[in-house]
Amino acid sequence: MPRYSVGLWFICSVGPRGASGTIRYLSHAFLLLILCFPGRRKQNITMKAELISREEIKDDDEITIWTIKDGESEICLNNLFDSNIYDCDWLDDEHTFCIVNYSEWESTELTAIVRVSGEIIKMGLNSIEHFIEKEALFIVIISGFGVGDESAYYMMDDTDSKWAVLNSWGGYLISPEYDSIEFDEEEQIFYADDYKFNISGESIT
């Protein structure tokens, strides 16, 4: 018999016996109601992904192995990069995007954005200046190395750098052609040098 059926049977069938019996009856009934009808418990608590690091010896050198652990899934970040990773951290509170700091040619230090699922959103960044969490947009300073095959189009050498705005898939909302980009949270407007863009990346005249 379910607990609530037993509780209701007891409350309805066992009546009070005098003043003291009434008190005992009411107290027992109250306890039974609590036991038989507990408050709703929270279910399906979502656990955030974790960044785990450990030290290993490789070719007589000590290196740090970085792993994203998301439930049963584990992704080794070192397998995504041919370069040495020296630091990692979460970019947002929900642990959706990870910042990976790594060293490239001639020990040049660069930054990459990696999704929790292991997809590299963008490499070759000098820095991530601002993250607009609601729209998942990144204001970055990107190197000519990070621009890749488009460096000639943007007239950038590998060591040059420009400001840009990236979307959550690594595309340019605002292309790397500016010396500075700021975002006004209240107006929802980007100020890129002497130009203005709305939150969709459209130019405002």
Contacts of 138 (CB under 8 A, 6+ apart): 113, 121, 122, 128, 130, 131, 132, 165, 166
Rounded to whole angstroms, the Cα distance separating 165 from 184 reads 14
The residue ranges of every structural domain in the chain are 3-36, 83-204
Burial class of residue 176 (count of CB atoms within 10 Å of its CB; 0-12, 13-18, 19+)? buried
Q: What is the predicted pLDDT for the residue at 92?
A: 95
Kindly report, residue by residue over 77-96, the tens digit of the pLDDT. Answer: 999 998 889 999 999 999 99
Q: Hey, which residues does 103 pair with through a beta bridge?
A: 84, 109
Judged by DSSP in three states, 52 sits in strand
Q: In this predicted model, what pLDDT tens digit does every residue of 142-194 receive, in sequence order?
A: 999 899 899 999 999 988 999 999 999 999 999 999 999 999 999 999 999 99
176: left (phi over 0), alpha (psi -120 to 50) or beta: beta
pLDDT at residue 39, as a whole number: 52
pTM: 0.75
**Are the beta carbons of 193 and 180 closer than 8 angstroms?**
yes
Q: What is the pLDDT of residues 126-139, one digit of tens each?
A: 999 999 999 999 99
